[in-house]
Structure 1
Amino acid sequence: MTDTANPTEFAKINLETSAIAWRELQRFFAAGLAIAVAADLDLVDVAWQFSQDNKAQVEQWLNSGRIGHVSDEQAGRWYADDSLVWAVVVKPWVLVQAR
């Protein structure tokens, strides 16, 4: 948890995070709303930063390639492997991370 995070709100995001079959997220991917999060990042922290509209941090992750739209290649692999991913919704985005 980041130093500035409200523990109650952070805990709420944590509770909303779950494992889900990638196939269940296809409509979000097709709409361009699925955001891949690098394995070395804390998915809940990333979701928190999105929810707080922390543009500086999000841009840093985008520029370093640690977050970004799920690629066609990645989506295809997850689909073919019937993968489960960790996911959390921060409207309009669905943040996903390989398990």
Structure 2
Amino acid sequence: MTSNNATHSPLYAKLLAETAKIGWTELERFFARGMLLRVARDIDLVSVAEAIASDDTTQVAQWLSSGLVERVQAETAADLAARDPDLWAVVVSPWVCVQERN
């Protein structure tokens, strides 16, 4: 995981330490509650979590409007359940940010 920042904030380091590989079955309950955010592969999962945690509404709004971050929809959930790919997740209450890895 890389970021544009040469040095990371303490919050970034904390979130990075809390990021873990996870299976779809463990994420289904968060999807059911509408709390699961999908992060596109081409942006840093931890940077997204950091922006959400620090209430950087401008940056989060840009990602949302460009589709780089989105609430997981039923079609995406069905695809993830069928394929069960490698996923990484980090919790930024009430959200769980998830990203598929190659």
Q: Normalising by structure 2, what TM-score? A: 0.88
Q: Do the aligned partners of residues 94 and 85 (structure 1) sit closer, same or farther apart at CA in structure 2, a change above 3 Å counting? A: same
Structure 2 residue 55 is the aligned partner of structure 1 residue 62:
no
The one-letter amino acid paired with 1:62 is L
Structure 2 residues without counterparts, runs of 5 or longer: none
Q: Whole-Å Cα distance in 2 between the matches of residues 43 and 22 of structure 1?
A: 17
Q: Secondary structure at the match of 2:34?
A: coil
1:6 positional shift: 6.0
Equivalent residue number for residue 37 of structure 1: 39
Q: Whole-Å Cα distance in 2 between the matches of residues 98 and 82 of structure 1?
A: 10
Q: Whole-Å Cα distance in 1 between the matches of residues 24 and 34 of structure 2?
A: 14
Equivalent residue number for residue 90 of structure 1: 92
| % identical aligned pairs | 46
1:40 positional shift: 0.5
The one-letter amino acid paired with 2:94 is P
Structure 1 residues without counterparts, runs of 5 or longer: none
